[in-house]
Structure 1
Amino acid sequence: MILIHVQYIKPLNEVDQYRKAHILHLEHYYQQNLIHASGPYNNREGGFIISNMSIDEAQSYIDNDPYHFAQVATFKLIDFSPTKSSELFTLLIDKDHFPKEAKALFNSLHGQHAGERLINTLSNISPEFTDLTFNFAFGEILSRPLLPMLLKELLIIAMCTMLGDTQKQLHSHIDAAYNLGATTQMIVEVLLLAIPIIGFPRVANVLLTLKEIIESKHGHSDIAMNHLE
């Protein structure tokens, strides 16, 4: 987990001008289940944020915090791994209460990208949904050994394309396919193969999603590129 120490460097009347914008910024991360607690110190010299963000996510949070933009506060990141905690706190910050093999599989496919953000958001709405995802989808189905994992992800991409209206899931599974070594052209070939069964409109929509993913990672949309790094 990442702890963020916020130190005010300007008078409170200047800090308070940006407080509402700062709270809205925090709320965005609460909605993604990335921040668990936050608030000012009682002496109003700064504040503290408790999160389960990665270092990169926490740095992105700081870079976009209105207090940082306005230069009314400085921020310090603290990478912290508790060695002892209450059961409730452990459940809050640690998802390792899920089956270890299912959690490890999830991390290898979806860790630190759109899949993890999606499951964190859904967990904030319905923890039961997350339980079912790890226990059944990853623990019982995706962990079956007969088919290679990359083939499974390419099949899931094809099935999501067929269903339509699954852009968030497609983003997650395209990211997972890249994690497993897929090239852009492999994913494009799967989509082209699906055209006779699924039709042009749904395939076209997924190609646009693929284009957005490439642009977000590389700043350009050459879908003929061989791979994403």
Structure 2
Amino acid sequence: MTTSEQESRLERGRRALAAIDGSAGEAVVNGLADIAPDFATYLLEFPFGDIYSRPGLSLRDREIATVAALTAMGTAAPQLKVHIQAALNVGIAREEIVEILMQMAVYAGFPAALNGLNVARDAFAAHDAASTQPV
């Protein structure tokens, strides 16, 4: 892979992350800079530069899948919170997010769905607090 191809992946990743997560995604990447800067680059290039930037699914559809997968994992509460906020950012309604989490009770079990609902409560509150902050 040439340097320009790698930079292109990185820039695509930055654009996709900004469109999905706004400043929250940037904070995650910046938080890795002091401990694992290479991992921050990988995070931008692969999931966001390669996968999220593909045609075929909208960002909205990708966030539906991501929220469902993270809920089913049951071990990724911080990432689930970020992606619930991202889901709100790309136009998924709170009621739809709650339905996604409830659907996971069927396939991942009630504990995973309950944990997801608790994360959603926190994510909704954080989203509300951020939207009431003066600009």
CA distance in 2, matches of 1:178, 1:215: 12
Q: Give secondary structure in 1 for the equivalent of 2:75.
A: coil
Secondary structure of 2:68's aligned partner: helix
Pick one of 215, 218, 223 that aligns with 2:125: 215
> Do residues 108 (structure 1) and 29 (structure 2) align?
no
Number of the residue aligned with 2:60: 150
Q: Whose relative contact order is higher, 1 or 2, with alpha carbons under 8 Å and at least 6 apart?
A: 2
In 2, distance between residues paired with 1:217 and 1:134?
23
Q: Which has the higher Rg, Structure 1 or Structure 2?
A: 1
Counterpart of 1:129 in structure 2: which amino acid?
F
Identical counterparts, % of pairs: 30
Unaligned runs of 5+ in 2: 1-6
1:194 Cα deviation after fit: 1.5
Query: Equivalent of 1:120, from 9, 30, 36?
Result: 30
Structure 2 residue 54 is the aligned partner of structure 1 residue 141: no
Alpha-carbon distance between aligned partners in 1 of 2:112 and 2:42, rounded to the nearest angstrom: 28
| Contact 1:118–1:168 (8 Å) recurs in 2 | no
Higher helix share: 2
Deviations 1:70-106 (A, max 9, x none): xxxxxxxxxxxxxxxxxxxxxxxxxx89632221111
Map 1:172-187 to 2 at 5 A.
172-187=82-97
Give the TM-score, by structure 1 length: 0.50
Unpaired runs of at least 5, structure 1: 1-95, 220-227
**CA–CA distance in 2 between the matches of 1:99 and 1:118?**
15
Structure-1 separation of matches of 2:121 and 2:36:
31
SS in 2 for 1:99: helix
Q: Give 1:199's aligned residue.
A: 109
